[in-house]
């Protein structure tokens, strides 16, 4: 290939790549909300974490979610203490995360509500599990609201429940997420 033609092709490709990167937007929050609910005939257990960090790339559809277990708030302190010390072992496994990528291509410049599914890895209690999580992404005037519900089986993440209280904790926990993501300001 002619050197001048090669340079021209390279410059054209580089300018297209820069245009794609420039149009990519990162959406984020540090105050996402994740809640969980365990229902049994003997006792219901619920907790809410409002300090969930989320990053979403409009260009690639990649999403990263991370939360500290100690940020979950329970109806009473004893439940919170048992959750952190006995079940989640937060000294050893302080955080849970999900990293994945949306299967759908979303036009982030167009307001609307879109069904989404993200294939990725859910890491809870030191156990990484491939999952496909389904939810909705609502785009409203440049803001993204992502909601998602799914279940987590305790045994899938090696979370042990003492036999003494096994009837009070469900084998599968319902998880609900609501993340209000805003465009990251370029500095």
* Phi, psi torsion values for 159, nearest 5 degrees: -95, 115
**Domain residue spans in the chain?**
25-183
Q: What are phi and psi of 144, to 5 degrees?
A: -110, 130
Query: Averaged over 148-161, what is the pLDDT?
Result: 91
Q: The tokens of 123 are what? A: 């890491």
Give the whole-number percent of the chain exceeding pLDDT 70. Answer: 83
Q: SS3 of 163, please?
A: helix
Q: What are residue 13's phi and psi, to 5 degrees?
A: -65, -45
What is the third-level CATH fold of 25-183?
Lipocalin (2.40.128)
Give tens-digit pLDDT for 62-88.
999 999 999 999 999 988 998 998 889
pLDDT digits (tens, 9 = 90+) for 162-179: 666 666 787 889 999 999
Mean pLDDT of the chain: 87
**How much is the average pLDDT of 113-122?**
98
Give this prediction's pTM.
0.83
């Amino acid at each position: 290939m002619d050197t001048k033609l090669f340079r021209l092709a390279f410059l054209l490709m580089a300018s297209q790549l820069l245009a794609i990167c420039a149009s990519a937007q990162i959406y984020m929050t540090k105050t996402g909300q994740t809640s969980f609910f365990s229902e049994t005939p003997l006792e219901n257990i619920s907790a809410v974490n409002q300090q969930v960090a989320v990053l979403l790339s409009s260009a690639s559809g990649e999403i990263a979610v991370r939360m500290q277990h100690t940020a979950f708030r329970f109806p009473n302190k004893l439940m919170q203490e048992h959750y952190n010390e006995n079940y989640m072992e937060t000294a050893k496994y302080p955080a849970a995360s999900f990293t994945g990528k949306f299967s759908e291509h979303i036009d982030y410049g167009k307001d609307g509500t879109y069904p989404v599914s993200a294939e990725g890895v859910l890491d809870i209690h030191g156990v990484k599990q491939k999952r496909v999580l389904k939810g909705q992404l609502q785009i409203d005037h440049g803001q993204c609201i992502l909601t998602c519900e799914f279940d987590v089986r305790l045994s899938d993440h090696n979370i042990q429940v003492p036999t003494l209280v096994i009837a009070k904790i469900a084998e599968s926990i319902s998880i609900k997420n609501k993340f209000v993501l805003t465009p990251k300001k370029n500095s």
